[in-house]
Structure 1
Amino acid sequence: MDRMRSQLLHRHLGYPLPPHATDISAPLLAAMWVLFRRQIFRQHIPPFIPGGKLLDIGASWGCYMAQMRDLGWEVHGVELNPAAVEHGRSQLGLDRLQQGFLDSVDLEEGTFDVVRMGMVLEHMHDPLATLRRVATLLRPGGRLLLSVPDITGLEARLYGRHAYTLQVPQHLVHFSPRTLSTMLRKAGFKDIRTVHHAFDRDMVSSAEYLPGKRLSRILHNPMIRRCLVRPFIRGLALAGKTSRMSASAIKPTDAPS
């Protein structure tokens, strides 16, 4: 699968091939791209830019940063947790991983090709102000990649206050595809694209918060989860009805740096 993934990223997103990569037939690559392009989008892998600068906000211990560094990006990160920052720096060699709030760290405006926020925006007291700050960090034409819970997803509707993705009190703001797109436009972004996650944990783990445990035991059954829950969630994701979504948005090329 690693060989296939490398070829897909090379052919469709412009990433360099690793040394000694072997060819895979074009028809097979085309078929695999149809199957995996949504997954690659959800993983926040942008089109490659040689020498490109990428910033991960809420980087944790740097797993995504390390992955993108290995794919050829100059990676930078911001993380609040000092222990996570220390791990990223000492264990993964991420010397550009800074500890602090977005507004308190040293970042040069108008220089980043990509900014990524994975399940971060819902924790912000003022998400619109955060998005506007992100826009100042991106160069014109730069790309924002983010993921947030979707409060209108089926799991959230079914479980209500027991929904796993509510994460009270850590989540301060709840988004729908419409409200997220509206906020991104207000922050100055365009070309907004949204894809929903095929992540069965939100359906299964939400049942643990219900008063009774019967549904939780049923959904945690390995056979039921594999044969019923996961195919159902994949279908929901294709229809844009699950409780997590990833989005991509572009800073206009005529926007000030």
Structure 2
Amino acid sequence: MTAKTEEFKNKGLCLLCNSKLSDRGFEAKDYLTSVEGSYLYKECSFCRSYIQTPVVSQAFLNHCYNSQSLTYKKPIEKSRSVFVKVISRVVMLIDLLFLSKKRKRTLFLEPSLPPCKKVLEIGCSYGERLSKLKDRGYDVTGIELAEESVQKAKELFGLNIINSDIDSCDFKENQFDVIIMRMVLEHLRNPQTIIRKISSWLREGGELLISVPAAEGAEFKEDMRHSYLTQAPYHIFIPTMEGLRELFSDNYKIVDYQYQFAINDLVKSAQFQRRDRRTLKNRLMAKSEVVGYLYGLVRHLMVLAGRKASRVNIRLIKL
């Protein structure tokens, strides 16, 4: 099966704001799992988000998810050096010292509502976040497409996770106080439909916490084709904040957002770039974990000083 045999016709319109797509864009390959082919992303003429054109079929995506070894499907045994662990701790300490309490909650996608509230996490992987919320007293439910991750959630944390996609799930209206979607939205071929569906599950005044790639971020804009945030064909779109405002304009109010810099985005992008363009910078960063993380620490300080990174965490309230 190829991406061209079955494709979703988005008719040259943005999946977020329904505006026309421009002729500006780029072609990307799958540098993560080596799915064959190239995939075109066009810029929206209004919100400047990048939309996969044509959008690949759900059957093709399911084939890719099931046949490839994706790093976010299961817990990874971490074999980082002492140096890398120290840098990671420094980055976390900087966030804790220099961000307000409100922004820390948004950065880590933490509910501001008190314990005992009902939380749904869509795309919960093997349940690490849900386990921590459960220990704090929240009533947690998860949805996860990867069967292996669901089994790990049961083995590691005793969580009862629903093994399903969003389309096949159905909950009562106003059932949840908080819904979390971490790096999930950009995988959806029909984001407007899905947002309407999950909104019915969230009570009025409830929180929707999302994390997505950010098209205005430096790591993406420097080299869109090789950016780790592109992840063709899995990422159907790379949104801007303007596109997200349009997507959520009917039922939500954005109360806070926080750009998040992930050093891994920088290092992975350098590894992808090295395959086609072996500059000294990306060769050093791709080959040396130490160089990559030192450079990443500098970039993290630049983000705190106001530079936009290529991930954004958003806190929304349902109206």
TM-score band (shorter)? 0.7 to 0.9
Return the TM-score normalized by structure 1: 0.78
Structure 1 residue matching 2:238: 3-state secondary structure: coil
Give a deviation string over 1:136-193, Cα, whole Å, max 9, x none.
111110000000001121111111211110000000112011111221113x101342
Amino acid at match of 2:258: V
Partners of 2:238 and 2:198 in 1: CA distance: 19
Report whether the alignment pairs 1:141 with 2:205.
yes
CA distance in 2, matches of 1:168, 1:85: 25
Task: Name the amino acid aligned to 2:299.
Answer: F
- The unaligned stretches of length 5 or more in structure 1 are 1-30, 253-257
Measured at CA, do residues 237 and 170 of structure 1 come closer, stay the same or move farther in structure 2, by a change above 3 Å?
farther
- Per-residue CA deviation, residues 113-144 of structure 1 (Å, 9 max, x unaligned), is 10000000000011111111121111110000
Partner of 1:52: 117
CA distance in 2, matches of 1:36, 1:218: 35
Q: 2:191 aligns with which of 121, 127, 142?
A: 127
- 1:205 touches 1:216 (CA, 8 Å); kept in 2? no
Matched residues in 2 for 1:136 and 1:123: separation?
21
Paired residue type of 1:206: S
2:171 aligned with 1:103, yes or no?
no
Identify unmatched segments of 5+ residues in structure 2: 1-94
Alignment of 1:166-185 (within 5 A): 166-185=230-249
* Residue among 207, 212, 216 paired with 2:282: 216
Quote the residue 1:251 is aligned against. Answer: 318
TM-score, structure 2 normalization = 0.64
Match of 1:19 in 2: none
RMSD: 2.1
* Partner residue of 2:130 out of 42, 62, 65: 65
CA contact (8 A) 1:99 1:105 kept: no
- Deviates most, 41-50 or 64-73: 41-50
Report if the CA contact (8 A) 1:177-1:194 is conserved: no
Letter in 1 for 2:309: T
Letter of the structure 2 residue corresponding to residue 249 of structure 1:
L
> Residues 246 and 224 of structure 1: is their aligned pair in 2 closer, same or farther, counting only changes over 3 Å?
same
Q: Specify which of 232, 237, 240 is matched with residue 299 of structure 2.
A: 232
What residue in structure 2 maps to residue 76 of structure 1? 141
Number of residue pairs aligned between Structure 1 and Structure 2? 220
Distance 1:91 1:200 in 2: 27
CA contact (8 A) 2:254 2:314 kept: no
Tell me, in whole angstroms, the C-alpha distance in 2 between the residues paired with 1:124 and 1:228. 32
How many angstroms apart in 2 are the aligned matches of 1:44 and 1:167? 22
Provide the rounded CA distance (Å) in 1 between the counterparts of 2:271 and 2:152: 32
CA–CA distance in structure 1, aligned partners of residues 118 and 307 of structure 2: 31
Partners of 1:54 and 1:74 within 8 A in 2: yes
User: Which residue matches 2:3?
Assistant: none
**Aligned amino acid, residue 158 of structure 2:** G
The amino acid that maps onto 1:250 is I
C-alpha distance in 2 between matches for 1:193 and 1:169: 30
Contact 2:115 2:136 in 1 (8 A): no
- Does the aligned pair in 1 maintain the 2:255–2:316 contact within 8 Å? yes
* TM-superposition CA deviations, 1:210-240 (whole Å, max 9, x none): 2216323322545544444312233225525
Deviation at 1:86, TM superposition (A): 1.7
Of the candidates 241, 245, 256, which is equivalent to residue 308 of structure 2? 241
**2:253 corresponds to:** 190
